[in-house]
Amino acid sequence: MPQVAVCQVADCAYNQDSTCHALAITVGDGTHARCDTFFTFPSKGGDAAATGRVGACKVSGCLHNVGLECQAPGITVAALQDAADCLTYTMR
């Protein structure tokens, strides 16, 4: 599972110091490369000893997607137009 190398979405409950601490995230809603695991919460969560990984990707049109699994060495997530998007997404 590829690592979430950088997460620039500071208001995500799993983000601490630009590091994702969700054990695994899901990317995409079938059309857009959004981080489906993103949400805001009054306190931070996740496993502080772990760095997030991509558990599943539902954007079949991405070059890195093979059988709904991300094959990129790592991804970057950032806030774009009020959503947390995978910047590593590359259209086939």
- DSSP labels, 24-71: -EEE-SSSS-BBTT----SS--S-TT---BEEEE--TTBTTEETTEE-
Map residue 14 onto helix, strand or coil.
Answer: coil
Map residue 70 onto helix, strand or coil.
Answer: strand
Is the pTM higher than 0.75? Answer: yes
Per the domain annotation, does 32 fall within a domain? yes
Per the domain annotation, does 92 fall within a domain? no
pLDDT digits (tens, 9 = 90+) for 30-48: 889 999 999 999 999 999 9
Nearest by Cα to 62 from 29, 39, 84: 29
Provide the 8-state DSSP code for 62: B
pLDDT averaged over every residue in the chain = 96
pLDDT for 29: 87
Domain range for 31 is 3-86
Per the domain annotation, does 78 fall within a domain? yes
Per the domain annotation, does 91 fall within a domain? no
pLDDT for 30: 80
Per the domain annotation, does 9 fall within a domain? yes
Number of domains in the chain: 1
Q: How many CB atoms neighbour CB 35 within 10 A?
A: 27
Per the domain annotation, does 54 fall within a domain? yes
Percent of the chain whose predicted confidence (pLDDT) is above 70: 100
